[in-house]
Amino acid sequence: GAVVSQHPSWVICKSGTSVKIECRSLDFQATTMFWYRQFPKQSLMLMATSNEGSKATYEQGVEKDKFLINHASLTLSTLTVTSAHPEDSSFYICSARERRFGWDNEQFFGPGTRLTVL
């Protein structure tokens, strides 16, 4: 159980286009979903936290108009990178937290999306 999927697994796009990444919890309802960014050989940096039906909370330094997050249901969150530029190229990973875990904040991660902006 506790499987999280991401789609697409990789995407190449031209500068100026927008890219949407989907994150789904397949067998559980996610209280909260998280979006991370990871540069090569570096750690994960939290970008934003999204809760179903409410606006996402962005970390300091993350442009909310650049990275649009929609959490339409308890099993789906989307990240849209708007007007992508080469510096947005990165590995984007989502994770989900299951409601029943209470104080234990274990997160289940998707396989990640490799974005390359030309």
Residue-wise burial string across 88-108, b where 16 or more C-beta atoms lie within 10 A, e elsewhere = bbbbbbbbbbbeeeeeeeebb
Binding of another protein at residue 79 (CB under 8 A)? no
Nearest to 54 by CA among 32, 25, 36, 27: 32
Using CB under 8 A, pick the residue from 28, 35, 58, 108 that binds another protein.
108
Give min distance, CB of 73 to another protein, in A.
19
Task: Return all residues near 87 (Cβ < 8 A) that are at least 6 apart.
Answer: 117
CA distance 81 to 83: 7
Contact pick of 25, 32, 78, 90 for another protein (by CB under 8 A)? 32
Geometric angle at alpha carbon 50, from 45 and 51, rounded to 5°: 150
Looking at 11-19, 66-74, 77-85, 92-100, which segment touches another protein (CB under 8 A)? 92-100
Q: In angstroms, what is the minimal distance from the CB of 111 to another protein?
A: 4
Q: Which of 93, 96, 115, 117 touches another protein by CB under 8 A?
A: 93
User: Footprint of another protein on this chain (CB under 8 A)?
Assistant: 4, 6, 32, 34, 41-44, 46, 49, 91, 93, 95, 97, 103-112, 114
